[in-house]
Amino acid sequence: LSPEYTDTSIHKSDDQNVELSDAGAAFLAETFRIADTDKDGLLSPEQLDDLFSPCPEHPWSDKTRWVAEAPGKPGYWTRDAFLARWAMYLLDDPEAALLTLVYIGFAAAPATAVNISRRRRRDRFARSVSRNVFRCYVLGAPSTGKTELVRGLVGKSFGGDSGSPEHTVGSVSPVPYNTPEGKQQTKTLALLELPEARISQLLSSKAFLDAGDLAAIVYDVSDASSFEYAARLYENITTLRKTLPCVFIGAKADLPPAVQTFEVSPVDFCVEHKLPEPVLVSMQAGEDQNIYQMLVEVGMNPDVACPDYYSGEAEFSAISRYMVYGVAGIGLASLAYVGWKMYSSSSSKKATTPSYHRRY
């Protein structure tokens, strides 16, 4: 194979996404059609294995990324789910994704299969968002309902497998979006739940923070101390990156609400910081309040959840950024301790608390 054919290197900044181009999407749609040997419009697990048989190993064997499965057919994927999984693959490891495309038969130069999104500072200058795939970090204290929020994006039933707590789990799905002109488009939303054990490490990484398009900060409305963690987390994040849109989500809204012990109520906190009021959801009751559409709308209109987004964002100098990360590191360390205390507390309650309350 010629070097041009096997060159899968990607040159981009941390705040740029790698997305499928029209050529890449067309190739994968045709690949799906050919792999669907029984022509039922779905790929079975066996058909997916056959599709990837030319590869040294199955690229998606770790099972930490979820897509929507066909109703009544666990493990079967529609074409939309197949393409969404490729969108997540390109976010996770774009060079590996391009190499996989080569293995399964993409005949043109690998770089033609993808587009690299515009840098955010150019978006801010143009006062418009150009990307089609949004990476949303799902954050919050232990046992607040984050995993069920991630699973809900792809229609997984409440209380199922939540994956390993040591790994980042995620889901991805196409989501409809209505433009201000009334046109309907489809964007791709990727949710990534960060493991509590690594949250300080991950949020201390400039590259990691810059890669996120928005953050969903989850708290448990039935736990009086839950919002305090969420509020402190927001304060740390905005110290590190002022232009990350943040949405607060109050989970377990089917349970009796507790009076939060934080100095101000969740609603007052959001009003004070010019953020949308918290969205109250109950994944167990199937009441998501269209939260996934809202997250896409925030991705397309980031100033809704980040009042400073278009105000000529403070692009820190190298020195000032290092200083900010040093100070914020202290805050993240204390946050990790609070999270550990909350986890210990919730774990001690499991022996006496009905499973209904703690399956989140």
Rounded to whole angstroms, how far apart are CA atoms 216 and 148? 13
> What is the rounded CA–CA span in Å between residue 185 and residue 244?
23
Q: What are the helix and strand counts (H, E) for the chain?
A: 14, 9
Q: Please report, for residues 103, 204, 291, the alpha-carbon distance to residue 207 in angstroms, rounded to integers and kept in the order given.
A: 29, 9, 27
Helices (H), the chain: 3-6, 22-35, 45-51, 79-92, 94-103, 120-126, 146-152, 199-203, 206-211, 226-240, 266-272, 291-300, 318-349, 355-358
356: tokens are 């209904």
Which of 83, 63, 287, 279 lies closest to 173 in space, CA to CA?
83
Measured from the Cβ of residue 341, the count of other Cβ atoms closer than 10 Å reads 14
pTM: 0.86
Per-residue pLDDT of the chain (360 residues; tens, 9 = 90+): 566 667 889 999 999 999 999 999 999 999 999 999 999 999 999 999 999 999 999 999 888 899 999 999 999 999 999 999 999 999 999 999 999 999 999 999 999 999 999 999 999 999 999 999 999 999 999 999 999 999 999 999 887 766 666 678 999 999 999 988 889 999 999 999 988 877 887 888 899 999 999 999 999 999 999 999 999 999 999 999 999 999 999 999 999 999 999 999 999 999 999 999 999 999 999 999 999 999 999 999 999 999 989 985 444 443 444 444 454 454 554 555 455 455 444 444 443 332 222 222
